[in-house]
Amino acid sequence: MNIIYYLPLILIFLASIISIKYRSSGYILSAISSIIFIVFTYKTFDYLTYFYLIAGIVWIITSIYSLSYGKNYGKWLAPLFILTIAGMMTILYANNFFVFIAGWEIMSVPAYLTVAINKKNDIEAYVFMFFSEISTILIIVSAILSYYYTGSLTFNKINNDYVLLIFTLGAMSKMGLTPFMISEWLPIAHGSAPANSSAIFSATMTLMGVYGITKLALLSPVSEIIGVLFMAIGIISVMFGALYAYISENMKSLGGFSTIENNGTLLSAIGLYVAINNNILRTFVLISILIFAMAHSIAKTGLFLTIGNTGTEYFSGVSENNGILNQVGKFFILSSLSGLFPGLGGLGTWMILESFFMGAFLQGTIGISSIIGGSLLAMGEGFATAAMFKVYYFTDNRNNKKNKNSLETYTIFSTGALLVFLFLISFLLIGKEYISGIPNVLIFNGFMIESRFSSVDFGLLSPLYIAFIILIFTLLAYIIFGKPKTRSVKRWNTGIENNEIYNSFIYSSNIRLMLKKILKTHSGKNELETVDVFWYFMIRTASSYRKLTKYISYKIMNSSISTYMIYMIIAFISIIVIVSLY
C-alpha cells in the first residue's frame, strides 16, 4: 500500500483535528492537502479523474476564502467544514462501495451539524439529515444489489442496470432532484449554512452524487428506458430549479435552486449517455458532463462566496456596494452559470446542448427525447440567465459606497478569472479526437473543439478565437467611438420625485404573475406569495415525515450534540479500519 498516495487523505483528517484548536492552520492545511490531492490523483489521464480536479479546486478556493470569512462563526465551523471535505475525499478515493458509503456519511454528518449550529431552529438540520439518510439507505441497497450480482463490493462491470437506478435515486435525493422535494429541502438546508459550507455543499457535495452516478453509468450497460427516465427527471429539475431560482428572495436558496438546475442538466446528460449506443457521441457526452460539472462547481462556489461577501441572506438586506474587482469576478462567475461565454459554463452548456441536438440524429425514441430535452434545457438556461442577472444586479447596493478589497474579494475575483482561464485552455481538457482547426481562418490546429457523433463534425467552437474576437471588437469599438458619451438630465416622473426603488422582488414579479398557474401566485397576508407546486402536493407527506424524523431524533438521537459526535466518531474509526485493511 502506497502511503504517499493516501497522504492528502491523512493530511485532511489531520487538518480537521488541528482546526479545533488552530482555525487558520486547519484551513491552510486543508488547502495544501487539496493541492497535493490534485497533483497525486491527476497522474493518470482518465475522464473520471476530472472530478478530483474539480473538487480539489473548489476545496482550495473555499479553504482560502474561509480564512477570512470563517472569523465570524464559532469554533466548530472549521473542524466540521474540513471534516466534510475529508468525507468527500474519501468518496473520491473509494474503489468499493464500502469506502464510498463510509465517505458519504463522513461527508454528510458534519454538514447537518454545521446547519444545526448555524441556525437556532433545528428543523433545517433535520430536513437535511432526513434526505441525506434516505440517500444513504438507497446507496446501501444498491451496494447490496451490486454484491448480489457481482459477488464483490468493488466497483465492477455489471450486466444489468438496477444498481445504477437505485444508486441514482439515492444520489438524487442528495442532489435535491425532482421526486425528492425539488425545491424545498436543498435550498433550505444549503441556505441555512454559512456561505463557505453552502459552497461546498452545493458545489461538491452534489458533485459527489454526480461522480457516483457517472462512475456507475460507466460500468452499466446501455439502457434506453433508464436513460430517458434520467433525462425527464433532469429536465423537470432544470425547469423548476431555474424558475424557483428566479423568484427566490433568499440569495442562498437561489444558489440552492441553481444547483438543482445544474444537477438536473448533468443528470439529463448522464441519461443521454446511458441511453445511446454510439461510442463517439458517448465519449463526447461524458466530456460534456465533466466540463459542465467543472464549470458548475467552480462557478457555484464563486456564487456562494459572492453571496457570503454581502454579509446577509436576503437581497433586501444588501447594504454595500462592491468594489470593481468583486464586480468583475462576479460577472464572470455569473455569466458562466448562465451558460454564457467567456466563462467555462458557456462551453459546458454548448457541449451539453450539442450532445442533445446530435442525439436527434439517432432517430427513434432517443432522437425525439433528445431534441425535446435539448430545447427545454436551453429554455431552462434562459431562466437561469435571468436569475443570475438578478444576483449580479441586486447584490450591490448602489446607494452606498464601499468597499475595501479583502481576501474574500480576491478569492471571488480569482474564481471568476479561473473560469475564464479554464475556458481559454479548455481545448487541453478535451480528448484529441474532438480537437482540430481551420488554419484558413486563423484557427490553428489544436485550438478548435469539434462536436461529433461520427467521423464528420457537427459543431465547432474555438475558445481562444472567441476571446480574441471579443477583445478585438471591444477595442475597435473603443477606438472608433471613444469613451461612451453620456448626458445626464433631470428625470421627469410626472412632476414629483420618485422614491420607489426597483428591488429584486419586483424584478421577478413578472414570472410570478405570468406563471400564476404553475406557481400558484396569490396575494398572501404579507406579500405576493407563490406556492411551490411540489411542496403543495407533498406537504402532507412532508409533515408526517417531519413528525417521524422528530420522533426518531427525540427517541434515538435525543437531539444532543454528543450523540452526533459519537456517531461521527464511529464513522471515523470505521474508515480508519478500512483504510488500514487495504
Partner 1 sequence: MQSFNKKNGRYIGRYKNYDAYLNKIVKLSGENEGDINEKLPGEMVFNYGPSAGGLEESVNFKIITPGEKINSVRVDSSFKRRNIKILNNNIYDALLKIERINGYHSASNSICFLLAVENALNIENNESNNKRVIEIELERIRSNLHIVKGLTESAGFSVPEKQLSYLIEEVSRIISEAFKHRYFFGANYINNVRCNFNNLNENILKIKKEFLSIYEDLLASKIFMDRLQENGTVKDINSTGPAARASGYNYDARLDSRSLFYESYKIFTMNSGDVFSRFMVRSDEIFSSIELIENIKVKENINKDYDLNKSGSGNARIESPQGDLFYHLDIKDGKINDIIMVSPSYINIKLFEKAMRGNIFTDFFFVWESFGIWISEKEVNFI
Partner 2 sequence: MSQWFLRGIKKGIKTEKNFKDKYKPYYPSKLEGKSDYNCPVNAIKNGEWDENKCIYCGKCDLNPTKDEKIYKINDAMPEMFKKSFYIYPLDSGTCGACNAEFNSIFYPQYDANRFKIFLSNTPRHADALLLMGVYTENMHDVIKNAYDAMPDPKVIIGFGSCALTGGIIGSSINEKFNVEIAGCPPSPYTIISAILKYKGDIK
CB of 519 to partner 1, least distance (A): 13
| C-beta neighbour count of 493 within 10 angstroms | 10
Among partner 2, partner 1, none, what does residue 506 contact (CB within 5–8 Å per kind)?
partner 1
96 secondary structure, DSSP code: B
Q: Residue 456 or residue 496: which is nearer to partner 1 going by CB?
A: 496
CB of 343 to partner 1, least distance (A): 31
Mask: binding to partner 1, 517-556, rule CB under 8 A, as x and -?
------x--xxx----------------------------
Q: Which amino acid is at 246?
A: Y
* DSSP-based three-state secondary structure for 523: strand
Give the C-alpha separation, 159 to 223, whole Å. Answer: 11
CA distances (Å), origin 10, targets 2, 7, 36, 170, 227: 12, 5, 11, 28, 38
Give Cα 84 distance to the centre of its chain: 16
Stretch binding partner 2 (CB under 8 A), from 168-176, 263-271, 427-435, 483-491:
483-491
Give the C-alpha separation, 580 to 511, whole Å. Answer: 55
Q: Pick one of 72, 400, 454, 493: the residue that binds partner 1 (CB under 8 A).
A: 493
- Beta-strand relationship, 522-523 and 528-529: antiparallel
CA distances (Å), origin 374, targets 259, 265, 272, 287, 351: 19, 10, 10, 17, 11
Q: Residue 504 or residue 553: which is nearer to partner 1 going by CB?
A: 504
| C-beta neighbour count of 76 within 10 angstroms | 17
Q: Residue 214 or residue 504: which is nearer to partner 1 going by CB?
A: 504
Stretch binding partner 1 (CB under 8 A), from 166-174, 301-309, 474-482, 494-502:
494-502
* H or E segment to which residue 436 belongs: strand 435-438
Give the C-alpha separation, 407 to 319, whole Å. Answer: 19
Region 300-329 residues binding partner 2, contact defined as CB under 8 A: none
Alpha helices in 151-205 (DSSP H): 162-175, 185-191, 195-200
Mask: binding to partner 2, 484-503, rule CB under 8 A, as x and -?
-----xxxx--xx-------
Q: Residue 159 or residue 493: which is nearer to partner 2 going by CB?
A: 493
The partner residues of 242 in beta bridges, in order of sequence, read: none
Q: Residue 17 or residue 513: which is nearer to partner 1 going by CB?
A: 513
Q: Residue 481 or residue 492: which is nearer to partner 2 going by CB?
A: 492
Contacts of the segment 104-107: beta carbons below 8 A, 24+ positions apart:
104/135, 104/136, 104/139, 104/208, 105/136, 105/571, 106/568, 106/571, 106/572, 106/575, 107/205, 107/208
Give the C-alpha separation, 111 to 205, whole Å. Answer: 10
Q: Residue 364 or residue 495: which is nearer to partner 2 going by CB?
A: 495
Among partner 2, partner 1, none, what does residue 363 contact (CB within 5–8 Å per kind)?
none
Region 435-454 residues binding partner 1, contact defined as CB under 8 A: none
CB of 243 to partner 1, least distance (A): 16
Region 197-256 residues binding partner 1, contact defined as CB under 8 A: none
Per rule CB under 8 A, count of chain residues that contact partner 1: 18
Region 503-522 residues binding partner 1, contact defined as CB under 8 A: 503, 505-506, 509-510, 512-513
CB of 485 to partner 2, least distance (A): 17
Q: Residue 399 or residue 455: which is nearer to partner 1 going by CB?
A: 399
CB of 501 to partner 1, least distance (A): 9
Q: Rule CB under 8 A: is residue 500 a binding residue for partner 1?
A: yes
Per rule CB under 8 A, count of chain residues that contact partner 2: 6
Residues contributing to the site for partner 2 (CB under 8 A):
489-492, 495-496
Residues contributing to the site for partner 1 (CB under 8 A):
493-496, 498, 500, 502-503, 505-506, 509-510, 512-513, 523, 526-528
